[in-house]
């Protein structure tokens, strides 16, 4: 009896494993690649570049392949033309995949713009667009950097965590842009309580284990209790800001803090009022939570990448500083939009940082509503597709010595595929904050170059290469730099 039950269970498991691992007939014409070794490397916490090297090795030269994870079939795109074929599709044909309720991503971002689809997405993207279409003023970012200089007085001449301080800058800038709010990250060393709560929440939301096994979130553990408390605190903070803004609009006292421009939240509320669009408070919370993450965590990584490479290669730092001095002079000033446009080498540095370490290395999953053609392949309906931006940015066909940090490649008229550099994605679901982030990075970098020199400490664990933790959004591991004031 026992033996029979044992064999029935074993056969059941084998039958189920074969069934879920079977490649659907409609995708049999696309090369199949097993990514089990990649999943295993992610679960063991291997650095992100090693995971990407493993993806390249496992793909055996295929720039599009199918893989299976559980019952789902995935199409992975590693080639710029195929990326274009997917990303330029209309939003209705290749919408974003929606995570099930209970998944930490779904719980945190809700129906915010990054995961919503259809009319909901269109309505809120249109409401947010005007702020991002304005000529965004460098003044607002520059004022934050002046506050940052004061903060740095206590942090000079010793190793400091450059990602942590970059986050302080980008959180303050985002606060002004999104809500007209000052978090106080640059007022003292102590991290404001709301930012501590946010960091705890996001670390759990993007945990690989929680994404793969969402039931972990339901266990009655101490960590989960703290996670729910911190989420409530974060949500309450956002709801309070929404309430304040609604009242300001009702009383005609909207706070025009952003250099005469209104903040994103006020603008969305005012525009919806003018156009008679009902804005649901929960939906607004989801949008603001999305902007909070999208608006600062990505830019702080990109800034950290730039600080790192300029410390590693002092000759690039010197050349960049010389360009800034030739445009702004030697005194610490906030650059104007026209002066930013003149900074060609600074722009090349920022593009090279976004190429070598794209802060969003993989596009969020799309689920096809109808079959589409990607390169020579017909991809059937209901299949999940993703684009690997990192692989496209490291493709030797478009990038000579892709692992080498070389801003000069953007100053030569090298011919390359126009879709070979897509840190902000492309097509209808591209990054709404792209121009804002590029402006912000140019202001921060030019002002920092005028004020400081910076170097890598002798014993840095990042001496040879920048180590990145394998999260949903990339993060440097223990990246410390020493800043000294220029005379
Ligand atoms: C270096 C900085 C940034 C990078 C590399 C970046 C990258 C991206 C990428 C790749 C996407 C597409 C994601 C996907 O389809 O899966 C995206 C979307 C988005 N980003 Fe950014 N982003 C940056 C800065 C910002 C900023 C500053 C904001 C807002 C202030 C922002 C807000 C958003 C939003 C709301 C979306 C969703 C757009 C939609 O689906 O319509 N991002 N970003």
Q: In the prediction, which pLDDT does 81 show? A: 97
- Cβ pair 398, 81 in contact under 8 A: no
* Average pLDDT of the residues in 204-216: 79
If you average pLDDT over every residue of the chain, what do you get? Answer: 90
Q: What are the tens digits of pLDDT across the range 338-392?
A: 999 999 999 999 999 999 999 999 999 999 999 999 999 999 999 999 999 999 9
> What sign results for the dihedral spanned by CA atoms 66, 69, 71, 74?
negative
Q: What pLDDT does residue 274 have?
A: 87
Nearest ligand 1 atom to the CA of 364 is 16
Q: Is the ipTM of this complex over 0.85?
A: yes
Evaluate if residue 17 carries a pLDDT over 60: no
For residue 176, the CA-to-ligand 1 centroid distance in Å is 18
Domain CATH for 385: 1.10.630.10
- The Cβ of residue 351 has, within 10 Å, a number of other Cβ atoms equal to 17
Tell me if 431 is assigned to a ligand binding site: yes
Ligand 1 atom with minimal separation from the 359 CA: 5
Q: What is the pLDDT of residues 291-316, one digit of tens each?
A: 999 888 899 999 999 999 999 999 99
Would you state the pLDDT for residue 376? 93
pLDDT, tens digit, 9 for 90 and up, residues 36-78: 888 888 888 899 999 999 999 999 999 999 988 777 889 999 9
Higher pLDDT, 113 or 218: 113
Where residue 402 falls among pLDDT bands split at 50, 70, 90? very high
Give me the number of domains the chain comprises: 1
- Write the pLDDT tens digit of every residue in 90-149: 999 999 998 888 788 888 999 999 999 999 999 999 999 988 877 578 999 999 999 999
In whole angstroms, give the CA distance from residue 304 to residue 332: 21
How many angstroms separate the Cα of 170 from the Cα of each of 176, 293, 296? 10, 10, 5
3-state secondary structure at position 484:
strand
Give the pLDDT score at 440. 96
Closest to 66 (Cα-Cα) out of 76, 57, 78, 52: 76
Select the highest-mean-pLDDT range: 158-162, 276-280, 472-476: 158-162
Q: What is the pLDDT of residue 257?
A: 47
Ligand 1 binding site (Cβ under 6 Å of any ligand atom): 113-114, 125, 290-291, 294-295, 298-299, 302, 359-360, 363-364, 423-425, 429, 431-433, 436-437
Residue 8 clears pLDDT 50, i.e. is over it: yes
Mutate to test the pocket of ligand 1, among 105, 298, 439 (most ligand atoms within 8 A of CB): 298
Q: Which range of residues forms the domain containing residue 141?
A: 2-485
Contact by Cβ (8 Å): 154, 165: no
Burial class (CB in 10 A: 0-12, 13-18, 19+), 138: buried
What value does the mean pLDDT take over residues 394-404? 94
């Amino acid at each position: 009896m026992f033996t029979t039950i044992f064999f029935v269970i074993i056969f059941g498991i084998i039958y189920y494993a074969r069934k879920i691992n079977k490649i659907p007939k409609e995708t049999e014409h696309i090369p199949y690649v097993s990514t089990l070794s990649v999943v295993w490397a992610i679960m063991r916490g291997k650095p992100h570049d090693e995971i990407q090297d493993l993806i390249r090795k496992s793909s055996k030269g295929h720039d599009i392949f199918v893989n299976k994870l559980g019952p789902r079939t995935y199409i992975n795109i590693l080639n710029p033309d195929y990326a274009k074929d997917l990303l330029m599709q209309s939003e209705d044909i290749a919408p974003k995949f929606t995570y099930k309720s209970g998944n930490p991503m779904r719980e945190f971002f809700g129906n915010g713009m990054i995961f919503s689809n259809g009319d909901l997405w269109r309505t809120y993207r249109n409401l947010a667009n005007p702020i991002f279409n304005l000529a965004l003023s460098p003044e607002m970012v520059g004022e934050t950097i002046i506050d940052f200089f004061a903060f740095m007085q206590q942090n000079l001449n010793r190793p400091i965590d450059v990602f942590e301080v970059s986050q302080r800058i980008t959180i303050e800038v985002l606060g002004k842009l999104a809500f007209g709010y000052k978090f106080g990250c640059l007022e003292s060393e102590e991290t404001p309580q709301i930012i501590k709560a946010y960091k705890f929440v996001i670390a759990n939301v993007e945990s690989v284990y929680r994404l793969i096994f969402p039931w972990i979130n339901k266990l009655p553990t101490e960590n989960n209790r703290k996670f729910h408390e911190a989420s409530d605190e974060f949500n309450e903070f956002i709801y309070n800001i929404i309430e304040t803004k609604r009242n300001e609009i009702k009383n005609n006292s909207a706070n025009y803090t952003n250099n005469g421009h209104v903040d994103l939240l006020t603008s969305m509320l005012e525009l919806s009022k003018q156009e008679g669009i009902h804005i649901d408070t929960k939906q607004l919370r989801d949008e603001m939570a999305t902007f909070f993450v999208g608006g600062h965590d990505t830019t702080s990584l990109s800034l950290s990448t730039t600080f790192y490479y300029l410390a590693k290669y002092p000759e690039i730092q010197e050349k960049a500083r010389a360009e800034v001095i030739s445009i702004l002079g030697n005194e610490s000033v906030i650059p104007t939009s026209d002066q930013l446009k003149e900074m060609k080498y600074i722009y090349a540095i920022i593009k090279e940082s976004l190429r070598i370490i794209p802060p969003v290395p993989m596009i969020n999953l799309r689920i096809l509503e109808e079959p589409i053609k990607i390169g020579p392949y017909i991809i059937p309906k209901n299949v999940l597709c993703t684009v690997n931006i990192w692989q496209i940015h490291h493709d030797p066909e478009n990038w000579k010595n892709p692992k080498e940090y070389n801003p000069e490649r953007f100053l030569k008229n090298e011919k390359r595929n126009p879709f070979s550099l897509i840190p902000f994605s492309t097509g209808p679901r591209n990054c709404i904050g792209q121009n804002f982030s590029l402006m912000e990075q140019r202001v921060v970098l030019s002002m920092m170059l005028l004020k400081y020199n910076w170097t890598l400490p002798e014993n840095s664990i990042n001496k040879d290469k920048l180590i990145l933790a394998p999260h949903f959004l990339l993060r440097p591991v223990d990246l410390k730099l020493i800043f000294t004031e220029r005379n």
